[in-house]
Amino acid sequence: MPLEKRIGVIAIILENPKEIQGRVNSLISEFGGLITGRMGIPNHERNMGVLSLIVEGTEDEINTLTGKLGNIHGVNAKATMAKQS
């Protein structure tokens, strides 16, 4: 039985974004097949950035991307997914 694809959102907060945005963007590109939308908002006053990714993939694929993002120092990433596939 094939794994069901789900719609989800990954919220990402970057601390010191200029130092880590290259690694984050590279990882997002690696998983580009999952991403259907992206929005990024910089907060220069706090030296932070906020990204949201709209994704569609299996639960494992979405969790893998979220985990890899969260393993980058200075990145906090959390995912939420629709209950239905």
* Residue 42 Cα distances to 26, 46, 50, angstroms: 18, 9, 6
pTM score of the predicted model = 0.92
Amino acid identity of residue 72, one-letter, is: I
Which residues fall within 8 angstroms of residue 3, CB to CB, at 6 or more apart? 58, 59, 60
pLDDT value at residue 84:
79
In what side-by-side order are the strands of the sheet with 6-15?
35-43, 48-57, 6-15, 75-81
Q: How confident is the model at residue 1 (pLDDT cuts 50, 70, 90)?
A: low
Q: Please state the φ and ψ torsions of residue 58, each to the nearest 5 degrees.
A: -70, 160
Q: 6-81: which CATH topology? A: Alpha-Beta Plaits (3.30.70)
